[in-house]
Structure 1
Amino acid sequence: MWAWPVASPHPVVRPFVGPPNPWSPGHRGIDVGTTEGSVVTAPDDGVVHFAGVVVDRPVLSIAHSGGVLSSFEPVAADVSKGDVVTRGQTVGVLVPGHCSDRPCLHVGARIDGEYVSPLLFLGGIEPSVLLPTRPR
């Protein structure tokens, strides 16, 4: 399980909305309400995969074990590509630019390139349970 990347409370102000296929619109992460200038920390141990600007926003992504990648925006990173980070380590500071009505941190998660809800790692979603299809 990951640690939350910003201090409590952690209101999810916009949920994950997975697209029906990879090219369709969706919201490929969650928006967590917080305060401008909030410290952003690594949710788990990993290696900085990317720290830079994408289009017009500063983005940070961290590669974790098992093909998992976390991403955060808009974050002014204190780390650089290739840096090893540990769970809870400060990796940057939230800057304005994602939510229009309040400061928020966009948190994304991918497993082997597929977007999934970060709540799978943050403890907000119960794991799926396969049930038998036939009576015994």
Structure 2
Amino acid sequence: MPVLLRPLTIAVVLPLVALTGPPAVAAPPTAHASPAQASGARGVDGAVHAATAPSPVRASGTWAWPGGEERIVREFVAPEHEYGPGHRGVDLAVSGDEIVSPDAGVVAFVGVVAGRPLITIDHGGGLVSTLEPVASGLSSGDAVAHGQVVGALAEGGHAPAGAVHLGARRDGRYIDPSALLGAAERPVLLPCCG
């Protein structure tokens, strides 16, 4: 009995999750947390600063564009190793002076680092964003909503004039925030061997 062979096709799939990591889920409040603690963020003074907790990390493509304009001025360039050269974020065009939070979260840091003002927001699930140069009147511990104004475009840093740098880290490792903004290229299936 003859055996029929069919040509083999192998597809290369580059899933979007490879760019952003696995989806994060917000941890439930601990049994020791009071309703006020579970529903708000505490500042350095210990007071509850918001009535609602940050939402879980949103799916890819649902972050707000911090500068109000959907245009990348300079792309993410992954370093070859942890301390190698690269561009650990994207520079985004800004229409006006207001900068908004890409997603709900809690302000982790506001200040000046290496001569440039910045704000860092913890979105939960190990996801953190940093916006620079941004002058902000917010304080560490303040809760922010998706798309809420968090500061004004300032001077300093390496972003070109009229642009804001958006950096994103998942579990301490820099990731390309383009996917979170919905600007990453979609996966493509490629035929192989055929």
Query: TM tier, shorter chain?
Result: 0.7 to 0.9
Correspondence for 1:7: 68
Query: Which residue in the other structure is 1:72 paired with?
Result: 131
* CA shift for structure 1 position 126: 4.2
Secondary structure of 2:68's partner? coil
Aligned residue runs from structure 1 range 115-126, under 5 A: 115-126=174-185
Of structures 1 and 2, the larger Rg is shown by 2
Residue 32 of structure 1 corresponds to 92
Indicate conservation of the 8 Å contact 2:107/2:139, yes or no.
yes
Q: Determine the structure 2 residue equivalent to 1:96.
A: 155
Over the matched positions of the two proteins, sequence identity in percent amounts to 47
Q: Compared with structure 1, are the counterparts of its residues 127 and 115 closer, same or farther at alpha carbon in structure 2 (3 Å cutoff)?
A: farther
Higher strand share: 1
Match of 1:113 in 2: 172
Mapped contact 2:76–2:176 kept (Cα < 8 A) = yes
Gaps of 5+ in 2: 1-61
What is the CA-CA distance between 1:5 and the residue it aligns to? Answer: 1.0
How many residue pairs match? The answer is 130
Letter in 1 for 2:154: V
Deviations 1:20-54 (A, max 9, x none): 1111011000111225x610111111000110010
Structure 1 contact 78–92 (Cα < 8 Å) conserved: yes
TM-score by length of 2: 0.61
Using the size of structure 1 for normalisation, the TM-score is: 0.85
- Give structure 1 stretches of 5+ with no counterpart: 132-136
Q: How far apart are the structure 2 equivalents of 1:38 and 1:116?
A: 26
Deviation (angstroms), 1:98: 3.4
